Amino acid sequence: MREKILLLLNESDDYISGEEISNKLGVSRTAIWKVIKSLKEQGYEIESVTRKGYKLLSSPDILEEEEIHYNLKTSLIGKKIITYDQVDSTNKEAKKLALQGTEEGTVIVADEQLNGKGRRGRNWVSPKRTGIWMSMLLRPDIRPENASMITLVAGLAVCKAIETTTDIKPLIKWPNDIVINGKKICGILTEMSSEIDYINFVVVGIGINVNTKKFPEELDSIATSLKLQGNKAYKRQDILKKILEEFEICYNKYLETEDLQEIIDEYNSYCVNISREVIVKSKDISITGTVKCVTPKGELIVTDSTGKDTLITSGEVSVRGIYGYV
Ligand code: BTN
């Protein structure tokens, strides 16, 4: 009933009377009053006026299924949303659900991760209610060798969502770190289960530092949050919803051709590496050079001092001026 009342309040531009809610839901006005009282205790600002009814003025920054679903303009991504107060890792949870047959597009969101996973075995600090810790479960019908581009699709979607919901312009450090003023605000961890020619599932995990006020000392020089950059708190729900919407658009374009040709110009427009000096360390090689662009296949083209171009498909890239590399 709580969800249904919230939906009615959300949908109504003006006051909605207790009688109208009662008729629509078939419950007593006392029961409605009790729910309204508990919603107020949870941080919902609801005005109650005699003979007019209730009006929702604002919602707290809670990541709840119904609130995320409300007015969400997607048809696949987020059709099913599972939210947790606390979880080990949303990627771990998503993989578990994938093995149980959960459908494509399912999104797992947590308020806190106790064991958030970063790339290359690192951990991802995910304190309570300060960020967006989420994973999307995908089952793309594509060749496994093309799946790594999904990370770039997600990076673009995150940038576009942050830009439209906060007015802060983030950049992408290829392949998948999102940075603002040289510090990281978002990391993406894509994991896949596949056979040689068939993908069972892909899990795209996204971690965004939204309202973090302070980082542990070891991260302070390399990490930042939207709050620290924009000097105000942001509603995680708005950013999260926009990410799901932008991701669905970009993902569909990517699925059409199994590459990034439809979105690569936009990706490059956000890519901080372009025309910058980089050091790429991948397996046994280390290349220093200047980045030309990212190709429609998602590779980085690096030109060395002799003018030779090298195509980089994976590796750790340090960009001069971005966290620590001077
Ligand atoms: C990186 O190292 O840059 C990737 C970090 C990815 C973190 C996110 S938070 C949500 C999802 N669940 C995890 O355990 N990790 C990813």
Q: Spell out the domain ranges in the chain.
A: 2-58, 65-270, 277-319
pLDDT value of position 229: 97
- Could you give the 3-state DSSP secondary structure of residue 208? strand
Cα–Cα dist 288/295, whole Å? 19
pLDDT value of position 314: 86
Residue range 277-319 forms a domain whose CATH class is mainly beta
- The number of the ligand 1 atom at minimal distance from the alpha carbon of 116 is 14
Q: Which helix (H) or strand (E) holds 162?
A: helix 149-166
pLDDT value of position 234: 96
Q: Which CATH superfamily is domain 65-270 in?
A: Bira Bifunctional Protein; Domain 2 (3.30.930.10)
Is 72 close to ligand 1, i.e. is its CB under 6 Å away?
no
Crossing angle of helices 29-41 and 2-11, rounded to 10°: 80
pLDDT digits (tens, 9 = 90+) for 255-304: 999 999 999 999 999 999 999 999 998 777 889 999 999 999 999 999 99
Question: For the chain, which residues score pLDDT lower than 70?
Answer: 324-326
- CATH fold of the domain at 2-58: Arc Repressor Mutant, subunit A (1.10.10)
pLDDT value of position 326: 57
pTM of the model: 0.90
Averaged confidence pLDDT in the chain: 94
Cα–Cα dist 224/238, whole Å? 19
CA of 281 from ligand 1 middle (Å) equals: 21
Mutation pick for ligand 1 pocket among 82, 84, 91, 202 (CB with most ligand atoms within 8 Å): 91
